[in-house]
Chain A
Amino acid sequence: MELFHPRQDIPFMRHALWFNAVSLITFVAAVLFLALRGLNLSIEFTGGTLVEVRSSEVVALEAVRDVLAQAGLREAQVQNFGSARDLLIRLPHLGDGESAQAGERVKTLLSQVPGTSFEVRRVEFVGPQVGKELATNGLMALAFVVFGIVAYLAMRFEWRFAVSAIIANLHDVVIILGAFAAFQWEFSLSVLAAVLAVLGYSVNETVVIFDRVREVFKQRRAKMDTPAVLDHAITVTMSRTIITHASTLAMVVTILLFGGETLHYFALALTIGIVFGIYSSIFVSAALVMWFGVTREDLVKPVKKKEEAVV
């Protein structure tokens, strides 16, 4: 059985402009959302306290909010977490000394909510300093990944490939972030991990296509221009692209379905990242390579020298 086996190369590059226009619009929209709405950062980055409780009865969020507000915790956010009986309570950072005790305070206060009892399932407290460090470390990690991948690809291929690949994949990252900003999904440390994993993963896609491009450049003596080579490389790897991504997506979607609330946004970030990863690797990075004007000489040079030496 074969799902995808075109007889002729598909002229992707002819429509490159269109594809990139679509990309650009999504990208601009993502940037706008990020700029206007911003990310809904989790307490891991902002500092604060989070308490997850399970109520023995279905409880009105208002009742819980009232109890907390009466005790002066007006800024507490209360929301359902997965089911009507699971609640998540977030408190902003309250100033030194007080914050470390906030978790216990919430526990005591909750016992005043009438008609139900609560089981505390999780308490997280992050000091503001730690939050700041986590944010800085996150940016450092992103920089490290970007630099590492560019360096590796520049070494293995050519700088124009490296730059194209990283632009295409950073564009995915921005789109994931844009989606998180647009829907105000919570951006936590595990989402950041997902984002960076996606970055590594969708570079794979680009690498597979570039590998083919290099191979075709080396093999074919017949004059094929760069767009034709790119078209050919994308077409022959198409089947692999679909199957691999379907597999990874199957995994990620099962995490989304079975992994529970804790992994929800993590899986969501991966899903968006993988879907856009396919798109950007094929349409954006390949097109960028073309526009950067890569020729066969850029890639085949070292081999040629060898041949001359033999002759």
Chain B
Amino acid sequence: MNRYPLWKNLLIAFVLLLGAIYAAPNLFGEIPAVQITPARPGAPFDAQTLAARLEPKLTAAGLTPQGFLFEAGALRVRFADTETQIRAKDLIESELNPDPDKPEAIVALNLLPGTPQWLSRLGAKPMYLGLDLRGGVHFLLEVDMDGALTKRLDAIAADLRSLMRAEKIRHQGIVRNGRLIEARFADEATAEAARRVIAKNVPDLALDVTAQGETVKLIARLTPAAEKTLREFALKQNITTLHNRINELGVAEPVIQQQGAERIVVQLPGVQDVAKAKDILGRTATLEVRLVDDTPGALEEALAGRIPPGTELLYERNGRPILVKKDVVLTGERLTDAQPGFDGQTGEPAVHLTLDSAGARIFREVTRDNVGKRMAILLIERGQAEVITAPVIRTEITGGRVQISGAMTVEEARDIALLLRAGSLAAPMRIVEERTVGPSLGKENIERGVHATLWGFALIAVFMIFYYQLIGLYSVVALAANLMLLIALLSILQATLTLPGIAAMALTLGMAIDANVLINERIREELRLGVSPQMAIAAGYERAFATILDSNVTTLIAGVALLVFGSGPVRGFAVVHCLGILTSMFSAILVSRMLVNFTYGGKKRVAHVSIG
């Protein structure tokens, strides 16, 4: 009696071992490091060479690196202390970015977990600390969807006007009216003809023809599906743009996430300069298409300092100089989409651009007149223009669908498309929530949280052992196992730990002991009724189980409600609370029972249960 089968003991031991392994990284603290990433995502970056280049310089300056970590598109250099780290950052910064306006790399301070290699190989990571514990800025940005929708409808209205012109259908005005586009026609037949043409060419519209006095009105609105796509697109595009811009801030581990249908959360750990962060987030980049001046000798002249009038000397992403005319052919506003893809004939990687109707018309004229010449697409940010790509015009391009292909890899095509899209924000954004936490407050918060938890735990432990003796000690071991499993689970899930989360940890421990108290009281009660010790233990665990289950379910209902409806601090609390309830069920019942079984189980005669 009171023996677990071997498999059950092994299973419990296995879970505890896993818990110990995955909770362990939290004990090792963090190592100061400097993180180096390329200034433009996807730009060529050779971490090995860079490391070889930096190492002698750092050693010479007395800033001996403790190690280099190579990752895809990032180099991390570890240092002994934060002072060396900060000095090394300045050195690397001046070494890699002699001109701060044209950075070659982003150099950021970072803290790497001090997890030993064998643990990291098992995928064990420390818990992910929230901003209130590590310091930093949190923004909640709201995308102005109404703005995005009206912008799109305005563009569609313009498209419809040129479509009517092209199809030679006479209309009496096409205007946007709120979320609708109204087109007026003289008679029903014309309106019907227009309806057919529009339905064929612009499938995103739902159309209605209504007669109204003298004129016939054709009312077009975006289909719900098209509107949904547009919203998703606007949000995605904004997120992409934010990614690009935040790279520039030099933040080690930024979080950029969608929240709900029109909001974006941006978290920048370690950033204190809120004004600069806001400036960068809110900045608008513009896209321009201009012609390249390929007159023989002109480039050489320009490089020698004699720039021909009406042109500008710029650089491509690979650093090659290029002479571009000052006249702007098109701006980013005319670009409605840019997607990576493949050339239909050659199968080469390509970027597909879509222009609106006005853009298409201009583009047709310009390409017709300049076949064989090159055309540059520029991204202008902070007054700095950079040539993203400069393809040769092969033929006249009509219809507003442009393909850029040749001499690019799939990855390059993706990056170019991304940069082109990022060039214009789909919709304006505004900050609706902001939190800044200083680094000293973060450290204090951790200390406070840990102290509260440990003191509370100690109080409970002393009391339980005093009151329930050996069984009480087992309850405390079970509670410690609960804490360990909870930490392990949070580490595995990489859920964000916040100060309310630590409070939840403490509170959950306080509540979790209830299960053991219920069991222990039940055992005592059985013993009092004169039941034999073995029977009393078995009955105690069995009878208490239903109660423990019921009470945990009700607590879990409250936890889940907080998780579903809560945000920010409440959610941080709820995650830990819910997980803690689950781990407590395991440890309070199974772990303590296993220990009790080892002590009392299987014995023929047990005269006394050490339960006070």
Contact = CB atoms under 8 A, between A and B. Distances in A.
Interface string B569-581: 1100110010000
B467 A247 contact: no
A153 B434 contact: no
Given A130-B432, A263-B448, A207 B550 contact: yes
A125 B448 contact: no
Contacts of A243: 463, 467, 517, 521
Contact of B438 (A120, A207, A244, A248): A120
- The interface centre, meaning the residue of B440, B457, B459, B510 with most chain A CB atoms within 10 A of its CB, is B510
Contacts of B140: 130
A269 to B, nearest CB: 11
A54 B440 CA distance: 10
Interface string A182-196: 000000011011001
A104 interface: yes
Given A122-B435, A200-B559, A243-B467, A193 B569 contact: yes
A260 B500 CA distance: 12
Given A100-B430, A122-B438, A255 B558 contact: no
Interface string A237-269: 101100110111111101101111011001100
Nearest to A51: B436
B518 interface: yes
B503 A121 contact: no
B517 A193 contact: no
B452 A255 contact: yes
A304 interface: no
A14 B291 CA distance: 95
Given A250-B510, A259-B503, A208 B518 contact: yes
Contacts of A153: 554
Nearest to B543: A215
Interface string B502-545: 01101101110110011001001100000000000000000100
A216 interface: no
B310 interface: no
Contacts of A239: 521
Interface stretch (B70-78, B105-113, B560-568): B560-568
Interface in A192-227: 192-193, 196-197, 199-201, 203-204, 207-208, 211, 215
A2 interface: yes
Nearest to B546: A211
A189 B550 contact: no
B433 interface: yes
Contacts of A144: 557, 560-561, 564-565
Interface string A56-80: 0000000000000000000000000
Nearest to A238: B521
Interface string B416-452: 0000000000000011111111101100110011011
A247 B510 contact: yes
A244 B514 contact: yes
A129 interface: yes
B503 A141 contact: no
Interface in B466-507: 466-467, 499-500, 503-504, 506-507
A92 interface: no
B525 A236 contact: yes
A103 interface: yes
Interface in B236-283: 274-275, 278
Contacts of A37: none
A190 B435 CA distance: 15
Contacts of A260: 444-445, 448
A228 interface: no
B98 to A, nearest CB: 31
Interface in A118-135: 119-127, 129-130, 134
Given A126-B433, A141-B562, A247-B460, A1 B500 contact: no
A190 B570 contact: yes
Contacts of B440: 54, 119, 121
Contact of B612 (A1, A44, A130, A240): A1
B570 A254 contact: no
Nearest to A261: B448
A259 B562 contact: no
Contacts of A192: 570
Q: Interface size class for chain B?
A: 35 or more
A11 interface: no
Contacts of B453: 254
Given A137-B565, A189-B570, A193-B574, A127 B460 contact: no
B478 to A, nearest CB: 13
Interface string B393-419: 000000000000000000000000000
B54 interface: no
B566 A137 contact: yes
A144 B457 CA distance: 31
B553 A196 contact: no
Given A208-B518, A247-B510, A259-B452, A200 B558 contact: yes
Nearest to A203: B554
B554 A254 contact: no
Contacts of A246: 463
A211 B555 CA distance: 16
Contacts of B366: none
A244 B467 CA distance: 12
B431 to A, nearest CB: 5
A289 interface: no
B48 interface: no
B474 to A, nearest CB: 15
Nearest to B522: A240
Contacts of A125: 431, 433-435
B456 interface: yes
Interface string A266-292: 110010000000000000000000000
A128 to B, nearest CB: 9
A52 interface: yes
B274 A207 contact: no
Contacts of A119: 438, 440
B223 interface: no
Contacts of B432: 126-127, 129-130
A258 B555 contact: no
Contacts of A104: 274-275
Contacts of A244: 513-514, 517-518
A252 B570 contact: no
A193 B570 contact: yes
B569 A251 contact: no
A145 interface: yes
Given A2-B612, A123-B435, A251 B557 contact: no
Contacts of B142: 127, 129
A34 B557 CA distance: 26
A83 B187 CA distance: 79
Contact of B569 (A123, A137, A149, A189): A189
A148 B557 contact: yes
B567 A134 contact: yes
11 contacts: A122-B441, A123-B274, A138-B565, A189-B569, A197-B562, A240-B518, A247-B510, A254-B451, A255-B506, A259-B452, A262-B448
Interface of B: 132, 140, 142, 274-275, 278, 430-438, 440-441, 444-445, 448-449, 451-453, 455-457, 459-460, 463-464, 466-467, 499-500, 503-504, 506-507, 509-511, 513-514, 517-518, 521, 524-525, 543, 546-547, 550-551, 553-562, 564-570, 573-574, 577, 612
Given A141-B565, A251-B509, 8 more contacts: A137-B566, A141-B562, A145-B558, A250-B460, A252-B510, A255-B506, A258-B452, A267-B503
